[in-house]
Amino acid sequence: MCGIIGYVGKEDATPYLLDGLRRLEYRGYDSSGIAVLDKDGGINLQKCAGRLENLRRQIGDKPESGCCGISHTRWATHGEATDENAHPHFDQSGKLVLVHNGVIENYQKLRDDLEADGHQFLSQTDSEVLGHLIGLAYENQNGVKESNSEERLVAAVREALKKVSGTYGIVVMHVDAPGFLVGARLGSPLIVGLGKDENFLASDVSAVVAHTSDAIYLNDYDLVCLKSDEFKVERIDGGAADFQVSQVEFSAEDVELGDYPHYMLKEIFEQPESIENAFRGRLSDEEASAMLGGLQMSPQELRDVDRIVLVGCGSACHAAMAGEHIIEALSRIPTEVEIASEFRYRNVPLDKHTLVFVISQSGETIDSLGALREAQRKGFRVLSLVNAVGSTIARESDGGTYMHSGPEIGVAATKSFTSQLTLLTLLGLLLGRMRDMSVSDGQEILREIRALPDKVREVLKQNERIKEIALKYVEAPGMLYLGRQFNYSTALEGALKMKEISYIFASGHASAELKHGVIALITEDLPSVFVAPKDSVYEKNMSSMEEVKARKGPVIAITTEGNQELERIADDVIYVPDTIECLNPILSVIPLQLLSYHFAVARDCDVDKPRNLAKSVTVE
């Protein structure tokens, strides 16, 4: 959650900080703030509740000048979204200012102790407590000369962080140390952007990619000291840090909106390319199989796997549910799905031949990262499927594969979901060909994978038709989504997209569960969306549609191109090109993405920044 951007250089900091916040606003938009160390040695702090535009108006045409500053866009955890709770936060002296992502779990005790010593707090946040704690540690270092203010600040950060429990990504600035920033991380992402005569600290590379492509992804317990022309990365305890400078794989243009009205629509229409990027260079005609060298496993090790556990949250969990069907159908390896937040607190029985896969777009999802570490703690090999190169999950896993989808700015996952499905299919193909899948079956899957981008383009051509359907039902109080087998997870994902961005009740179910209670919800005003391609359970899905129609419920059907049969049952039919059964969710989910998008736009919802949500969940 939340976005951080810090700048130290030779230019005025404010334009850099505001531009970085604009690029990070998808991570949190309850409030925002900026603090700049001005040329007179004071800190100019401005912050306010609401969207970033409120802060821009408050700053006006004459921002305070200064070459060092920090800023923050917030997703509220402790304390409501108010001006007072917005970051940055001062310490008790007013000389130190801090921005913080994460949760300080023992903040209340720390706050009580500080208040007993006379500290006064201006907010309800846990973050302000950390600022006071660092400021107190700085003031108490009486034995250190004033000329060593930078060393004093670093020592204060180290001392204060020893006393906190929880997670943090912080950047600290002090009036005694002009042109100097200190950052540290534990459980909340923080990166260093290295420029020419300027350097950056940020929670996401998208904030700095317009200025540099050189980034250091800090590890947990790393501390960084930053000036305009130098940096030092150490461990919080003072030990040597292991880090490397990485190249950001996307450009500033990739995170711009272009001619689209919303990022979500842009990213829906980018799926032909993102799906192709997911399989490019990974298909082997000679072996009729997939090549996933990043797994870091020999063929024999892969053949020894007799159980797979797929772990994820939200849309990644839905992709995993489809992956369970795909992997079992193609390789016949028993596969199960665990919600990451549940897995990390359960004592899941795993045997030595179990392979755990963690799926995350950002590679920073706190529950997925916790699940990865719990599985590794128990001695299991954990692989990852992520989009963000250099992310924590990618670095800490024992191997894995990247989606290469490019940045996904819209809060509601779209292209990352279909990329995850594509890679899970490649995994199923690879494992299947190592077992009993025939060459001809492997070749057929390769043909169909290569055909996906063009078939997705055919689905996208129906955008206006899908918009008409969305407008037809825009007054509906809710929607039901139903599918079976491979497309049960498609129904869940379609329902999630609708509730995320339009705020209406939407519920996904296995079609056959309709008569086991769900059917009680059917009314003339409640549409049911059926994902019913011409597959092995088509007739069963059609029977469920008949049950809804018998109770006068409207039906929207997603089915295979050329299948006119459903037009006599469904009120509206959307067609997708024919493909093999395991790939159908990739095509079927796209009409559901468009349906939710147009439905939400018609209801005047902010589809890119839905209420109460943020893109990357980095706090529990």
Give me the sign of the Cα torsion angle 416, 421, 424, 430: negative
Query: Is 548 in the same domain as 416?
Result: no
CA 425 remoteness from chain centre: 21
Maximum Cα–Cα distance for the chain, whole Å?
A: 85
Record the tokens describing residue 91, joined without a space: 């310490």
What single string gives the DSSP state of each residue in 256-272?
A: S-TT-S-HHHHHHHTHH
Residue 400 forms beta bridges with which residues? 384
The pLDDT value given to residue 348? 82
pLDDT greater than 80 at residue 283: yes
* Residue partners of 577: CB distance under 8 A and separation at least 6: 455, 458, 459, 560, 561, 587
pLDDT greater than 80 at residue 76: no
* Residue partners of 147: CB distance under 8 A and separation at least 6: none
pLDDT greater than 60 at residue 98: yes
Query: Is 338 in the same domain as 417?
Result: yes
pLDDT greater than 90 at residue 62: no
C-alpha span between 544 and 396 (Å, rounded): 45
- Going by pLDDT thresholds of 50, 70 and 90, the confidence category of residue 143 is low
Model confidence over 433-492: pLDDT tens digits? 999 999 999 999 999 999 999 999 999 999 999 999 999 999 999 999 999 999 999 999
Query: Is 244 in the same domain as 114?
Result: yes
Query: Is 179 in the same domain as 263?
Result: no
41 versus 61: the higher-pLDDT residue is: 41
Q: Are 509 and 536 in contact (CB under 8 A)?
A: no
Q: Which range has the worst mean pLDDT, 105-109, 216-220, 290-294, 350-354?
A: 350-354
Query: Is 365 in the same domain as 231?
Result: no
End residue of a domain, out of 403, 428, 461:
461
Query: Is 267 in the same domain as 413?
Result: yes
3 state DSSP class of 161: helix
Query: Is 412 in the same domain as 469?
Result: no
**Phi-psi region at 41: left, alpha or beta (left = phi > 0; alpha = psi -120 to 50):** left
C-alpha span between 268 and 280 (Å, rounded): 19
Query: Is 248 in the same domain as 270?
Result: no
CA 347 remoteness from chain centre: 26
Model confidence over 332-345: pLDDT tens digits? 999 999 999 999 88
88 prior amide bond cis, ω within 30: yes
* Mean pLDDT calculated for residue range 244-261: 84
The pLDDT value given to residue 413? 95
pLDDT greater than 80 at residue 284: yes
* Mean pLDDT calculated for residue range 363-376: 93
What single string gives the DSSP state of each residue in 491-547?
A: HHHHHHHHHHHH-SEEEEEEGGGGGGTGGGG--TT--EEEE--SSTTHHHHHHHHHH
250 versus 208: the higher-pLDDT residue is: 208
Pick the most confident of 17-21, 60-64, 280-284.
280-284
The pLDDT value given to residue 4? 94
Model confidence over 495-541: pLDDT tens digits? 999 999 999 999 999 999 998 999 999 999 999 999 999 999 989 99
Model confidence over 537-554: pLDDT tens digits? 989 999 999 999 999 999
- Going by pLDDT thresholds of 50, 70 and 90, the confidence category of residue 382 is very high
The pLDDT value given to residue 613? 82
HEC secondary structure over 431-452 = HHHCCCCCHHHHHHHHHHHHHH
Query: Is 263 in the same domain as 142?
Result: no
* Mean pLDDT calculated for residue range 192-213: 92
Record the tokens describing residue 75, joined without a space: 């997703």
Q: Determine the residue type at 604.
A: D
Instruction: Give the HSE-up count for residue 9: Cα atoms under 13 Å, Cβ half-sphere.
Output: 20
How many Cβ atoms sit within 10 Å of the Cβ of residue 572? 20
The pLDDT value given to residue 618? 63
Q: At CA 574, angle to CA 573 and CA 579, rounded to 5?
A: 125
Kindly give the interhelix angle for 415-433 and 584-602, rounded to the nearest 10 degrees. Answer: 170
End residue of a domain, out of 396, 429, 461:
461
C-alpha span between 388 and 404 (Å, rounded): 8
Record the tokens describing residue 328, joined without a space: 């079992």
End residue of a domain, out of 255, 275, 297:
255
**Phi-psi region at 79: left, alpha or beta (left = phi > 0; alpha = psi -120 to 50):** left
What's the CATH code of the domain at 269? 3.40.50.10490
What's the CATH code of the domain at 189? 3.60.20.10
Q: pTM of the full predicted structure?
A: 0.88
Provide the residue range defining the domain that includes 171. Answer: 3-255
Q: Are 369 and 396 in contact (CB under 8 A)?
A: yes
Share of the chain above pLDDT 70, in %: 98
Q: Which range has the worst mean pLDDT, 177-186, 349-358, 457-466, 583-592?
A: 349-358
Query: Is 428 in the same domain as 485?
Result: no
Model confidence over 298-342: pLDDT tens digits? 999 999 999 999 999 999 999 999 999 999 999 999 999 999 999
3 state DSSP class of 156: helix
pLDDT greater than 80 at residue 26: no
| C-alpha pair distances (Å), 507 with each of 278, 433, 494, 498 | 29, 37, 9, 9
- Going by pLDDT thresholds of 50, 70 and 90, the confidence category of residue 35 is very high
The pLDDT value given to residue 144? 58
Q: Determine the residue type at 607.
A: V
Q: Are 393 and 387 in contact (CB under 8 A)?
A: no
Name the DSSP letter for residue 244. -
Beta strands in 333-477 (DSSP E): 335-339, 354-360, 382-386, 400-402
* Mean pLDDT estimate for the chain: 93
Q: What is the dihedral of CA 52, 55, 57, 60, to 10 degrees?
A: -130
The pLDDT value given to residue 620? 62
Record the tokens describing residue 537, joined without a space: 């359970």
Record the tokens describing residue 419, joined without a space: 């990329």
pLDDT greater than 60 at residue 147: no
Closest alpha carbon to 587 in 536, 532, 540: 532
Query: Is 363 in the same domain as 488?
Result: no
* Mean pLDDT calculated for residue range 193-220: 92
Please give the positions annotated as active site. 2, 615
C-alpha span between 17 and 35 (Å, rounded): 9
Q: How many domains does the chain have?
A: 3
Query: Is 296 in the same domain as 425?
Result: yes
The pLDDT value given to residue 1? 64
